[in-house]
Structure 1
């Protein structure tokens, strides 16, 4: 029976955004930001009052491939939060918030319904509610809700499907397919936008905004073409009749973003189109046969060039109302592709603003001048593109891939190619100040490692970066933040281990290990913002830099001003120090490389470090005995301790040292484990300090992924976990190690870790084991320590809710050392690109 007294809480989730402009949105109802992160949807909450913690609080699992489109449904009748998502798996999913945020628990979304699959990946979603309060601030006949919501989903196969969503109906009727459109000539759609056309006005005898026989919609579609196609149609109970009504030309390259807004003074629709030609064009959709006043002429002069202002006319609705679309303005200012354009209308004064994001590393806010009506750039965030290099080594962010407005318009956010977000806040007086945001890996996280005393956490990933997380002491809730990006590399990094408070070793696909030392600037920042003290801080190098096309971080001891890399912490306008923002993390927080360790012939698979920190053991991917060796290095001079240890015939997956370093355990793909025994007290002699003690061939029936030692208070024992869905306990019986217990699971076990101390509970003293599975699920087990030594009676202690667990296989689990008696923290890395920290309370 599960002991339910262990309570688990997610304290930190780090996960980067997919580099897809359509895969993020900000909810006007809940205030949450949702963004695609691999196969999951990350939910991020910003709390500027600091009454509760901010950051990513959950990831929604359901998509079987990368999430490529995310949209919230604004203005739902009951103000509930409904989320739409689409992915490379071709399926449209609808999620609903069923449990709001509380002080003791996190919000919970559940899958409401999913669509039949498209024939290609879903690339964008557009939504519009009948009788809703629009995200742009306008409102229309809010009492009319019976027709639900119209949804358009665009697919990579060149088709756009029209749906009706009514969350109040039974499951099979929640989502109704109305029509499928095909782009002609066929092109790859990149963006779609949907809006309700202006209805009949009062002089026609119908109230403005009132629905007559059927709702009339305008759908804009753009993509791998230099034109925008306008479809117009009505929606009925079970069908729609959208048809191509106009084709807007003028752009000179692919068009990546579309956005509609309704102008309060004229009831006209404005359409913004952002293109790879670096320009944003504005178009006006006007009702009536007469053209808008500013479009009466046939030509417009901008920047000395004559731009065509042809009126595109069409009729819509059962009454065949006349409409026109005319070119309104050309916005010039970006120096590279425009990825995103998003309108916002103020709910108080109806003022319209446009937010654009570009590959030139900038966000721009545009407004129409009150006197002349000319659109001008009123604010610009980010960097001038010429200030940055073109490679990761020199800190290029790769542009901003999206731009999102907060519900109240006082915040904007965007993310770059590293998957990290940046946020700016304004007090309403025109000045935008950068604030803290979230970041994370964008590919599989292969390993995590706590500093020896648990002061900070390191992670590494196939995205070729290593990251450092610590608690920010100045915040009320002491949340974890990313404080440093010590290694930005040119190879996928597979393993990492901390060997001292100021050093770590990582291993990558390049077949060698690299040793990194903490620079003085990072040490001072961690002391100022996290309260982490370093005894030898004055002996550390100032900063590190990485040359263009280089892989080695070089120590730099010149003055920061001369080097262009200051040590000052990021600050807001009031001078409050913050953890580093994304631009600083990617450029100014490298650690200098101290040593390279050679010897292996293939990609590094694992690195282990003795508890004393005096020796490390390493292994590489192998298919033969000669390459499946374990190489050892002492950590003072970094010389290799020969001979290499031969015991396995295939890749060694994990190396672990007993708590007193007397024994070393290795487990591998050959289904065997090996226990090595220490043969010298020190490393004065030139030779490997361990020799094989016992080899257990076929210890388990499938590949063994992990093995860890129990605390010494519980006796001499270790635990192994394998693909055969079992965890086995091995105890020292005389001179040999034997299996004393087997725990079975329903799926393969990919990672385990054992708490470094025995805990006291009402029932006795226990060893605690965390078990991670191939699906991303994980749980905590405990076993009672027997009076005369040894352990028995393994049983589940804490069952982890799947809602807060990773979505893919867990690659490593690490209990935080030196924790409190009643509270324990555990870090988990996963193939879903996340790093998570959980807190367990007894």
Structure 2
């Protein structure tokens, strides 16, 4: 068969891409087009694109590679555009644009920073006169701060003459470097003054508890410091600019701080600048002098002991104006918002369907608040909606604070990422209530183990994030075709206190699994009735489960415990978040955190140190495991029966000198393959009429470095592959006692270093 004919027969589609968002305040942004709204966020060293246009559904995530460090900041290049800018831990800043084929490419590489990027801001510059005839030439000003104490600005030119295919039209130049000394820029915001196309203002939040305001006048691209806005008593973490829809001649700046307060500043023109507070200390009229009333109320609360001196200073309203150099514009405090009980992590302006201005804020108190000005007073803001998680200690904050209106159905949606690095999403139509929606989840640390359910209906994974998760298909006839269902996280059966190293289904290889961690014991888990109900309602499983009615309803983790226990449903009130109720879509993050656990039914002992590898036979009857070792005695493999978890004789297999890193049974469980840190592999043959094994062949120095992984060929009992830290994968078969190497493939690939072993 020719290679062309072979290629025509192979069609590979991505069904699942589980990617968590990095835990940084400014690591996500919205990019828009007329047809879609997409969330761009950092996931490790890659960038994920999530199309969240439709409710309760989304295509498989797209991943972009280009950074060599963890992504720390992302910002859209302009509001209604699919282009964006990203920065990483190494100080690299990249500009991305669509390539016309549904993906993105880098169009500029901005250099200058030496350490982690902490914030990015962008703005489109007006077309210069000499380029007015060329509508395809676009210029942008990009600024970025980093932990090296520098703040750098660049100007880039992008040529969009070929539609969505863009390329940098001229080299990128670093325009200015502002030395911040011992301070670090935590966020930045750029905006033109209202009705001005030449005067630009830059707000810079940092670790000095103030908001620094810079300005420039085009064609000059050099910022000069105007003043620093006081008021916050802790680090200022987030900023955002917007025009006031009710007063188009005013510019609003919002800042959020670690002092739990949000401050709004108004930038407008003032004919007679006010240099001090407007109220008259002698006046007794509350109507004519609202600031005196506020001062009196604050003093009364302070005298009663309800306000500390620090809180009194936080609520102080100053009407002093801060003028911008060489303009008639100035900043003045407009409002102070208090509703969060911990750090404010993000603030974003947004316009709702009615054209009203809204403010969305997130906090480390696990909440997201939507604010709107009152109908009577524009400078009094009300908490109109509150989102988040109540009564849980697993989520230590929300980040992101994004809002958009769907381009097709006019559905309002708010988004935020949590401490567990999964997305939270709520939507509503018209005047309906806000409802949670399906959103991406994923392991936020290295995945250390995978195993398929025997029918391939769902997949188990474990990770260094101390969780075991199950992934399955959602066959929603109204959304996806039966032949191409969407895949989601459907269960989180184990939330442990140690990093997990391996997982494997046992027994019927559907309803039970074993997992190992930084412990000497193997833990055994059994499914619940809630899981069976969820998988049936989602269409994940087609075959019935054995003894479904005899299984426990759900499980819980006791305080200060590591073992999941069966929950006594008669003594507990019905929780509205329980997945046992009617489930029309995959569980949400708050449900996955605590309502999808499986009970731990047994423990298997015997190893002298922390476990390193585990597997089970395809029939599910035999469990093989190994532990960390530095001698041949402790580097043994132990076999247990999956029926009663008793040792199988001979239950200890000795053949390696150091830690066994991977174990694998062949398809009929007649052979067991093991690889080790000592660079050797071994083949163990099953004893006839027994579940015991004896060594058949052992090869030393099979690789130049530690062997991390091994597996059998699917359709063969005589061929297997081994992967090593020497950046090679060897394929071996029984041709002269496993000594013939068929191929040395993938040589030169970068194999990541494992934390284990």
Matched residue, 2:176 = 179
> Once the 2 structures are TM-superposed, how far is the Cα of residue 438 of structure 1 from its aligned partner?
0.8
Are 2:275 and 2:321, in contact at CA under 8 Å, matched by a contact in 1?
Answer: no
> Once the 2 structures are TM-superposed, how far is the Cα of residue 565 of structure 1 from its aligned partner?
7.3
Matched residue, 1:707 = 710
Over aligned residues, Cα RMSD in angstroms? 2.9
**Aligned ranges 1:717-732 → 2 under 5 Å:** 717-732=719-734
SS of match in other structure, 1:17: coil
Q: CA 1:160–1:599 in structure 2 vs 1: closer, same or farther (change >3 Å)?
A: same
- Residue of structure 2 aligned with 1:273, choices 255, 271, 274: 255
> Once the 2 structures are TM-superposed, how far is the Cα of residue 256 of structure 1 from its aligned partner?
1.1
**Aligned ranges 1:321-332 → 2 under 5 Å:** 321-332=327-338
Deviation string for 1:585-633 (max 9, x for gaps)? 1011111111222233333221110111111111123232122111111
Matched residue, 1:337 = 343
Is 2:504 the partner of 1:523? no
- Residue of structure 1 aligned with 2:700, choices 697, 704, 719: 697
Deviation string for 1:370-402 (max 9, x for gaps)? 223221111111234xx23x3xxxxx3212122
* Range with bigger deviation, 621-630 or 514-523: 621-630
Is 2:17 the partner of 1:34? no
Q: CA 1:622–1:11 in structure 2 vs 1: closer, same or farther (change >3 Å)?
A: same
**Aligned ranges 1:278-427 → 2 under 5 Å:** 278-290=260-272, 297=279, 299=291, 304-305=297-298, 307-316=316-325, 320-346=326-352, 350-373=355-378, 374-384=380-390, 387-388=391-392, 390=393, 396-406=394-404, 408=406, 410-427=412-429
Which runs of no fewer than 5 residues in structure 1 stay unpaired? 101-106, 133-140, 199-207, 391-395, 684-688, 749-772, 776-807, 812-830, 832-842
> Once the 2 structures are TM-superposed, how far is the Cα of residue 741 of structure 1 from its aligned partner?
4.4
Are 1:355 and 1:363, in contact at CA under 8 Å, matched by a contact in 2?
Answer: yes
Taking structure 2 as the reference length, the TM-score comes to 0.86
Distance 2:292 2:491 in 1: 51
> Once the 2 structures are TM-superposed, how far is the Cα of residue 704 of structure 1 from its aligned partner?
2.8
Are 2:462 and 2:468, in contact at CA under 8 Å, matched by a contact in 1?
Answer: yes
- Residue of structure 1 aligned with 2:150, choices 148, 155, 159: 159
Matched residue, 2:64 = 60
Q: CA 1:287–1:167 in structure 2 vs 1: closer, same or farther (change >3 Å)?
A: same
Distance 1:743 1:518 in 2: 42
Distance 1:743 1:548 in 2: 52
SS of match in other structure, 1:591: coil
> Once the 2 structures are TM-superposed, how far is the Cα of residue 300 of structure 1 from its aligned partner?
7.1
Matched residue, 1:654 = 662
Deviation string for 1:266-311 (max 9, x for gaps)? 4211111111121111110112333599985584765933723232
Is 2:103 the partner of 1:120? no
Q: CA 1:249–1:293 in structure 2 vs 1: closer, same or farther (change >3 Å)?
A: closer
Q: CA 1:363–1:660 in structure 2 vs 1: closer, same or farther (change >3 Å)?
A: same
Is 2:523 the partner of 1:514? yes
Deviation string for 1:621-679 (max 9, x for gaps)? 32321221111111122123354110011222221112111111112222222111111
Distance 1:652 1:625 in 2: 10
Deviation string for 1:351-376 (max 9, x for gaps)? 21100111222111111122232211
Q: CA 1:743–1:370 in structure 2 vs 1: closer, same or farther (change >3 Å)?
A: same
Are 1:517 and 1:593, in contact at CA under 8 Å, matched by a contact in 2?
Answer: yes
Distance 2:742 2:446 in 1: 30
Q: CA 1:429–1:496 in structure 2 vs 1: closer, same or farther (change >3 Å)?
A: same
Distance 2:279 2:501 in 1: 63
* Range with bigger deviation, 256-265 or 285-294: 285-294
Q: Which of the pair is proportionally richer in strand?
A: 1
SS of match in other structure, 1:365: strand
- Residue of structure 1 aligned with 2:228, choices 236, 239, 247: 247
Q: CA 1:131–1:56 in structure 2 vs 1: closer, same or farther (change >3 Å)?
A: farther
Are 1:311 and 1:326, in contact at CA under 8 Å, matched by a contact in 2?
Answer: yes
Are 1:446 and 1:460, in contact at CA under 8 Å, matched by a contact in 2?
Answer: yes
- Residue of structure 2 aligned with 1:484, choices 470, 488, 491: 491
Q: CA 1:263–1:164 in structure 2 vs 1: closer, same or farther (change >3 Å)?
A: same
Q: CA 1:177–1:117 in structure 2 vs 1: closer, same or farther (change >3 Å)?
A: closer
Deviation string for 1:502-525 (max 9, x for gaps)? 111111122332111111111211
Q: CA 1:490–1:142 in structure 2 vs 1: closer, same or farther (change >3 Å)?
A: farther
Q: How many residues align?
A: 696
Are 1:55 and 1:438, in contact at CA under 8 Å, matched by a contact in 2?
Answer: no
> Once the 2 structures are TM-superposed, how far is the Cα of residue 179 of structure 1 from its aligned partner?
1.0
Are 1:28 and 1:74, in contact at CA under 8 Å, matched by a contact in 2?
Answer: no
Distance 1:183 1:254 in 2: 15
Distance 1:418 1:624 in 2: 38
Matched residue, 1:84 = 85
Distance 1:419 1:49 in 2: 21
Matched residue, 2:555 = 544
Deviation string for 1:284-341 (max 9, x for gaps)? 011233359998558476593372323233244xxx2222211111112112211111
Distance 1:266 1:45 in 2: 32
Distance 1:527 1:117 in 2: 55
> Once the 2 structures are TM-superposed, how far is the Cα of residue 14 of structure 1 from its aligned partner?
0.2
Taking structure 1 as the reference length, the TM-score comes to 0.78
Are 2:275 and 2:319, in contact at CA under 8 Å, matched by a contact in 1?
Answer: no
Distance 1:658 1:415 in 2: 42
SS of match in other structure, 2:701: coil
Matched residue, 1:612 = 619
Are 2:727 and 2:750, in contact at CA under 8 Å, matched by a contact in 1?
Answer: no
Are 1:674 and 1:692, in contact at CA under 8 Å, matched by a contact in 2?
Answer: yes
**Aligned ranges 1:727-742 → 2 under 5 Å:** 727-732=729-734, 737-742=737-742
Structure with greater contact order relative to length (CA < 8 Å, sep ≥ 6):
1
Deviation string for 1:493-543 (max 9, x for gaps)? 111111121111111122332111111111211122134231211121111
Q: CA 1:301–1:180 in structure 2 vs 1: closer, same or farther (change >3 Å)?
A: farther
Distance 1:163 1:570 in 2: 54
> Once the 2 structures are TM-superposed, how far is the Cα of residue 176 of structure 1 from its aligned partner?
2.6
**Aligned ranges 1:659-808 → 2 under 5 Å:** 659-682=667-690, 689-711=692-714, 714=716, 716-732=718-734, 737-747=737-747, 774=750
**Aligned ranges 1:615-630 → 2 under 5 Å:** 615-630=622-637
Are 1:492 and 1:509, in contact at CA under 8 Å, matched by a contact in 2?
Answer: yes
Matched residue, 1:7 = 11
Matched residue, 1:393 = none
Is 2:207 the partner of 1:224? yes
Q: CA 1:302–1:700 in structure 2 vs 1: closer, same or farther (change >3 Å)?
A: same
Distance 1:531 1:350 in 2: 42
Distance 1:560 1:580 in 2: 24
> Once the 2 structures are TM-superposed, how far is the Cα of residue 146 of structure 1 from its aligned partner?
6.2
Matched residue, 2:310 = none
> Once the 2 structures are TM-superposed, how far is the Cα of residue 724 of structure 1 from its aligned partner?
4.5
Are 2:457 and 2:540, in contact at CA under 8 Å, matched by a contact in 1?
Answer: no
